[in-house]
Amino acid sequence: MKKDAETTHLRRVSHWKLYLLIMLIAFGIVFILSLNLGYAPIPFRDILIILTKQIPILENLVDASNITQTAEVIITQIRLPRVICGALVGAALATAGAAYQGIFRNPMADPYVIGASSGAALGAALVMVLGIGVSLLGVNTLQIMAFVGSLITVLVVYTIARVGSRVPVTTLLLTGIAASLFLSAIVTFLRTIASDQILHGLTFWLIGSLAPTENWDKVWAIFPFIIVGAVIAYMYSRDLNILALGEDQAQHLGVEIEKVKRILLVSGALMTAAAVSISGLIGFVGLIIPHLTRVLIGPDHRVLLPTSAIVGASFLMICDALSRVIMGSGEAPVGVITALSGAPFFIYLLRRKRKGYAV
């Protein structure tokens, strides 16, 4: 029995909100679970009480007499900022990845494709190797240099790729690859002259880790960029849909493609730069999360972008939680976990091309 296409379409659109709600609930559960995992065991009940206590209107409703001072500090000052940073970084990378895959009409695109990662790596490596890491008003130079390096690289790549008033995406991709190779060569050189101790830190940073995010300053440093970037990307989600028909056709449908591309590239670059500035180069999230989400809910960017953000946030929180417990007292870099868990799952998805929505 064939269903009417109109009904099917309407039902699919009306399901978007349902999916978003389910994802949000899953996100909430992952959030609480992540707070529970760590070296010091703190029971769920205590975590919930501590969290409730932080909310001004609800603080009198709970009995916090059994909660130790230590537990409260661990949760609010150490674990909470780290989990929030993980969520923000995951959301940023996944949203930027989804937007870039849409702009480049290429499933291989990710937030790092036009040089955001190699620029940040160079900035971070310079700070570490030259030993100029100092803290200014709660934000350290490492973070600033990584952020600035990332943005400058994207800007330079964009400028080089521009032909007159147009920026062809193929040229942009190739310029991005060339710039990445160039900057990576410099980073490799810096690694050879770095001392063992610095090299260890730099390697950790290049793989990506959320360990340095255990304070609220980090959250506030990236929060505005990621929120603004994500909102801007969402505003242009219908244009991203139309770009799937090619740039000429998007133009014919009233999309001012050069403007839209510029805005989306900038918003993606802002989100990515903010994310890598505190966590280093966490790979794979920006590549696989948009694909995974597309398999779940379809290619429409109006729902794909927000869902990718939530899925990316949850995924990185899980990976970070694993990185904290997997090695007992030590900590594995989260970038290793994302690749280890993500790659096999991604291959599974590629093999199992679901009817209706292919990866």
Partner 1 sequence: MVVLTIDGIDCSYGSVDVLKDVDFEVKSGEFLGILGPNGSGKTTLLKSISRVLQPHKGTILIDEKNIYGMKSVDVAKQLAVVPQSTPVTFDFTSLEVVLMGRNPHLPRFKMESKEDLAIAKNSMKLTRTWEFADRPVTELSGGERQRVIIARALTQEPKILLLDEPTTHLDISNQLEIMDLIKNLCETKNLLIAAVFHDFNLAARYCDSIILLKEGKIVAVGKSEKTLTSENIRKVFSVDTIVKRHPVTGFFHVIPISIPLNQQQKTLSIHLISGCGTGSPVMKLLKDEGYFVTAGVINLLDTDQEAARLLNIPTVSEAPFSPITEEAHAANLNMISKANVLVITPTQFGDGNLRNLEAAETALKEGIPIILLENGPDEKRDFTNGKATKYLTELENNGAVIVKSNCELLQVLDNLEKKNNKNLHQKKET
Binding flag, residue 300, partner 1 (CB under 8 A): yes
Among 39, 44, 220, 357, binds partner 1 (CB under 8 A): 357
**Nearby residues of 123 by Cβ (< 8 Å), 6 or more positions away:** 142, 145, 146, 147, 148, 149, 150
The nearest distance, CB 191 to partner 1, in angstroms, is 37
Residue 254 sits in the site that holds partner 1 (CB under 8 A): yes
Site size toward partner 1 (CB under 8 A) is 33
- Matching residue, tokens 């007292």: 329
Does position 9 bind partner 1 by CB under 8 A? yes
- Considering only 1, 5, 18, 57, the residue that binds partner 1 (CB under 8 A) is 5
Per rule CB under 8 A, is residue 256 in the interface with partner 1? yes
Does 298 participate in binding partner 1 (rule CB under 8 A)?
A: yes
Rounded CA gap, 96 and 268, in Å?
Answer: 5
Reported as half-sphere exposure (CB side, CA atoms, 13 A), residue 204 has a value of 17
Q: Which of 52, 76, 215, 251 binds partner 1 (CB under 8 A)?
A: 251
Q: Which of 80, 43, 120 shows the shortest CA–CA distance to 210?
A: 80
Using CB under 8 A, pick the residue from 1, 3, 63, 134 that binds partner 1. Answer: 3
Task: Pick out residues in 337-356 that bind partner 1 (CB under 8 A).
Answer: 356
Asked whether position 15 contacts partner 1 by CB under 8 A, the answer is: no
Determine if 231 is a binding residue for partner 1 (CB under 8 A): no
Which among 348, 347, 334 is positioned nearest to 283, based on CA atoms? 334
Q: State the Cα–Cα distance between residues 318 and 334, nearest whole angstrom.
A: 10
Pick the binder of partner 1 from 17, 45, 200, 252 (CB under 8 A): 252
Following DSSP, what letter does each residue of 93-119 receive, concatenated?
HHHHHHHHHHHHT-TT--TTTTSHHHH
Contacts 24+ apart (CB under 8 A), 104-109: 104/169, 104/172, 104/173, 105/169, 105/243, 105/244, 105/246, 106/169, 106/173, 107/291, 107/359, 108/287, 109/173
Which residue from 27, 33, 62, 105 is in contact with partner 1, where contact means CB under 8 A?
105
Return the residue of 177, 227, 228, 235 that touches partner 1, per CB under 8 A. 235
Taking alpha carbons only, the member of 334, 312, 339, 343 closest to residue 94 is 312
Estimate to the nearest angstrom the gap between the alpha carbon of 342 and the chain centroid. 14
Of 238 and 262, which has the nearer Cβ to partner 1? Answer: 238
Residue 353 DSSP SS3: coil
Stretch that binds partner 1, among 139-147, 242-250, 266-274, 306-314 (CB under 8 A): 242-250
- As measured in angstroms, the least distance from the Cβ of 233 to partner 1 is 13
Rule CB under 8 A: is residue 170 a binding residue for partner 1? Answer: no
Site string for partner 1, 264-283 (x = CB under 8 A): --------------------
Q: Does 246 bind partner 1 (CB under 8 A)?
A: yes
Which of 101/314 has CB closer to partner 1? 101
- Report the alpha-carbon distance of residue 173 to residue 160 in Å, rounded: 11
- Least Å distance between CB 355 and partner 1? 9
**Residue 107, Cβ density class (10 Å: 0-12 exposed, 13-18 middle, ≥19 buried):** middle
Q: Where on the chain is the footprint of partner 1 (CB under 8 A)?
A: 3, 5-6, 8-10, 13, 105-106, 235, 238, 241-246, 248-249, 251-256, 294, 298-300, 302, 356-358
